[in-house]
A and B are shown apart, each in its own frame.
Chain A
């Protein structure tokens, strides 16, 4: 083996060992690296009990209720399998909308209601002009009527 082949082998082995170590560490930490819990995970009691955590999912269509004081809102976060009712008081981000993604931080109270102290909007990776979005929505509706 020439010296430069030895050095190459050394670096290759080092990088592979490092990648292996990183994989093990990341797998071990997987549960702690989640930014939010889904309603299904909360239902399965995977979320921390009695501690602040984040839930994420979709704002259920037609679930948004605004309080009389103008700042308090109620809505339901769903991942289509499970639902969690959320209460929040404060300004909502501009992209907060029914049927769109949301991440809320807060605590789950005894009644199973999530009292949020912060609400963030999560948007998807699709970018399109408003006309295209409108056309997509129309197509979805048309498809829905055909199925029914």
Chain B
């Protein structure tokens, strides 16, 4: 169905509006022009597998020793996944009308290619629209205008994630090169991620935490990975510690939380020293590759960070929850400034009494054909 959604995210962002194909969704009006650094898609060039295997640990909070003993088996150059994300609401009272927005569908771009994505809604919606939001995410808006007592939304997608690679010369970029030096044309879709957003307020507190990782002249990859690893070490993964509304400052004080909090804290740290960082929502593979531990955050939506590492490297994916660079185990769905821009579903219902919610996510790698 969503043939239009399969166009390349990068091509959605890069060309000027006049170059848009007529059938495509509304062009992103804030698109950078071609002379500027490409705002690459959410899935990002990750570093070589050596780096990854050295940082991928077991569940951070498992208590028992979980040695990072995974053999550096060379990861596949690309993996195809079948994703199913099911959301079910049951209401105590009838709902007269509900209006909802979904941000659950992948779009082709960066190192991700979307072969197919399909939304099924029960009961049948009365009306249905799709559009691309400011960040290029695919948004489905629908309304159900007859009495109902349950709502079920199933999103099934098939995507291929390629393992990115970074050349040695690119990797030598110093972190200061990724700052805004106040000269030359400015790319709004990068620069806006240097400043505060509704849920992330950069401050000296975060900057002080970030500085030991970003010593003068340090390579940006090293610095970013070091910060990612430190957050993983210093923060406890604890689903009871925070809620969806916990502020980044609170999570930083608590030194605990879930992927959303970890990502918010890392973004706050990066922005506080002037770097551009954004929030990525997506999924992790559910079943680990042979010989590897299951990653935290599988079976549900996951979140991580992208750091703008300069023109050559573009956006780097960092997963502070799992202390690793993002590679073929991560499937990006949406990007934004923080969680508020990418929440998978938001809705307004009329009536409904109290509700119960069931969410399940299934991410299965497909055999190579």
Instruction: Tell me whether A and B are bound partners.
Output: no
